Structure 1
């Protein structure tokens, strides 16, 4: 198996069609005093769509993305897109970074140079990594699985074959948040012989039964927070886990609808204090959105939730992770569990609570996150 170079080159007709659809948006009404509690704010979305039509330049973003070394490789019948940037240092460590939803490989582009060339960014060359950033199956430029069941374990299997069989890294580290943390978890659970360590943005769903230790007071408080979050903010996950196809018709047909579905998550999950552009510029938000639009992957991306929900569970899925684990917590409350909650599942070797940064930490606080990733993996370098 081998990888072939990949270059993003979107046909102009696709961009012209996008602009036409944006111009022809049939806007809904909204309460006179509408705010973000009702859903995506219509005033902000109108501004964003106007910018998308008049000022956003995809070709500039395409040029930026093509500045990274990109490839595609066929693994288990699927063409997987990935960035592969070699480290600048005496002995770079192989590291795979996995994004989540509603993000894309684009989220990792700020942190890549901080990890591959730390000496040029205030760090030490001995902390350099060879960085691999794949697009999840059915996301971005990776092939749509076409309703072949795709679980987080399946993705961990694909990533192992990518790193070992395609790129020749017998041992490697992994990092991820959101879905990416689940993939890293399954790398540690099912491929421990290949793992140097895993670094996660606090992701843990421990099995709890009569044989496990009772929840501590801090854990009980965290469970209460989770229940409140599911009530107030979890409707998207329930819909995507049960009826993704119903959503797909509108989101795949209307770029404005797609923006409304995704932008609200970037605002509510990031550390932006309600002002989304404190963390993301319009160009950054629209680059991520445009990747979903031009690849027509919104349906396959949300279908991963359905597959995860409906995949058969077995006892192996709840094995403790003995691979060394680093846990970094952002200020996002739902991803800030107490340490004992995480230690039910993981062999935690490093625990850090960041002072700022939210769900999209690699994009919001790339310097802080890069520093943590370097620090966690430093003791495991040979």
Structure 2
């Protein structure tokens, strides 16, 4: 279970094929004159595809990604990719706390890189070197350079893999965990299954509990759940097809880079805190870095596994380790009451609704997320 160094290296013929396909893209007509009202605006897509084909420098993006320490490890017979950024150690400072950061969909390890820099070397960002973390950023199974699991993709199974990665492969006795979206569910399972190893859990999207055995939903909880149902009715089309016909839509996206890009950026715009203007949060180079990674690895289809296997997830057991929620500012969580989180976390020590940063909070607001993590974990370093 030892890890080996890894470098991203997309073959030239893959890039040539990508540019050829981009140059031959056929664009649809707009369905609604209102900008982005019916999905990704065809005019914006044409602009993005043109830049992807003729202006985007993948080799520069690849070099920047390879400045981080990438590794591969075999766990349960499958390859796991992760970035491992060791803390900047200062003489006299305590040993850094290990911290695993888990992304969601349609995201990647790229989401967590700027946060990780701040956590591994807080002194370089005006912080206390005693707060430094050893940061581990794995790619979810089936995403990019991590192989899809042989068994069903459940949040619990990913947590089991992550625990093996942290304790057996990397040799950490005790660590913290952070995540959003899928990563939030994985992080909660880490806390539920391994309280002896997990110092604390910090999430940005609190999983909606279905366990009301300790009392029916309060008025605030019922109001939120009703609003969530109403929102989901207009947002869940993408999830419905990936949950029921993942191979059908994956076939189209595997063959068309433009189709792949719109499937991803539609959610980057809708779920982020960008106010409808996608490039206030990410420039084209960042968006195309993520799209190129999915294209080059051919993993957009396997990233759908967590949707297809979602019914196999079970409710998370009681989570007794210290917990924190920094709630995303995205439509799905507007009005989320703290009491729902308290049904999930027996020891909720940190609760914040900063109203900045959406579904991809770590990518959108890395300074904010780093600050939240430093604050929450600071007193927990000495508790174990």
- Corresponding residue to 2:156 among 148, 153, 156: 153
- The Cα of 1:330 is off from its aligned counterpart by 2.2
What is the SS of the residue equivalent to 1:356?
A: coil
Q: After superposing the two structures, state which structure 1 stretch, 240-249 or 62-71, moved more.
A: 240-249
The residue aligned with 2:77 is: 77
- Corresponding residue to 2:324 among 300, 323, 326: 326
The residue aligned with 2:104 is: 100
Map 1:158-169; keep pairs closer than 5 Å.
Answer: 158-169=161-172
Counterpart contact for 2:188–2:316, Cα < 8 Å: no
The unaligned stretches of length 5 or more in structure 1 are: none
When the two chains are superposed, the root-mean-square deviation of aligned CA atoms in Å is 1.3
What is the SS of the residue equivalent to 1:161?
A: helix
The residue aligned with 2:235 is: 233
Map 1:71-150; keep pairs closer than 5 Å.
Answer: 71-89=71-89, 90=93, 91-145=95-149, 148-150=151-153
What is the SS of the residue equivalent to 1:36?
A: coil
Distance in 2 (CA, whole Å) between partners of 1:219 and 1:32 is 35
Counterpart contact for 1:241–1:306, Cα < 8 Å: yes
TM-score, scaled to structure 1: 0.96
Q: After superposing the two structures, state which structure 1 stretch, 153-162 or 81-90, moved more.
A: 81-90
Map 1:237-316; keep pairs closer than 5 Å.
Answer: 237-309=239-311, 311=312, 313=314
Q: After superposing the two structures, state which structure 1 stretch, 160-169 or 33-42, moved more.
A: 33-42
The residue aligned with 2:374 is: 374
Distance in 1 (CA, whole Å) between partners of 2:376 and 2:317 is 23
Map 1:160-179; keep pairs closer than 5 Å.
Answer: 160-179=163-182
- The Cα of 1:172 is off from its aligned counterpart by 0.5
The residue aligned with 1:199 is: 202
Counterpart contact for 1:118–1:125, Cα < 8 Å: yes
Counterpart contact for 1:96–1:133, Cα < 8 Å: yes
**CA displacement, residues 261-291 of structure 1 (integer Å, 9 cap, x when unaligned):** 1111000101111000000000000001111
Counterpart contact for 2:206–2:327, Cα < 8 Å: no
Distance in 2 (CA, whole Å) between partners of 1:152 and 1:312 is 7
Distance in 1 (CA, whole Å) between partners of 2:5 and 2:333 is 36
Counterpart contact for 2:156–2:313, Cα < 8 Å: no
What is the SS of the residue equivalent to 2:21?
A: helix
- The Cα of 1:33 is off from its aligned counterpart by 1.3
Q: How many residues are treated as equivalent by the alignment?
A: 376
Distance in 2 (CA, whole Å) between partners of 1:312 and 1:2 is 29
Map 1:47-86; keep pairs closer than 5 Å.
Answer: 47-86=47-86
Distance in 2 (CA, whole Å) between partners of 1:123 and 1:43 is 44
What is the SS of the residue equivalent to 2:355?
A: coil
- The Cα of 1:35 is off from its aligned counterpart by 2.7
Q: After superposing the two structures, state which structure 1 stretch, 328-337 or 94-103, moved more.
A: 328-337
TM-score, scaled to structure 2: 0.95
What is the SS of the residue equivalent to 1:350?
A: strand
- The Cα of 1:355 is off from its aligned counterpart by 3.1
The residue aligned with 2:42 is: 42
**CA displacement, residues 155-188 of structure 1 (integer Å, 9 cap, x when unaligned):** 0000000000010001100000000001001101
Distance in 1 (CA, whole Å) between partners of 2:216 and 2:199 is 31
Distance in 2 (CA, whole Å) between partners of 1:171 and 1:335 is 31
What is the SS of the residue equivalent to 1:132?
A: strand
Counterpart contact for 2:253–2:260, Cα < 8 Å: yes
Counterpart contact for 1:207–1:318, Cα < 8 Å: no
The residue aligned with 2:344 is: 345
The unaligned stretches of length 5 or more in structure 2 are: none
The residue aligned with 2:361 is: 361
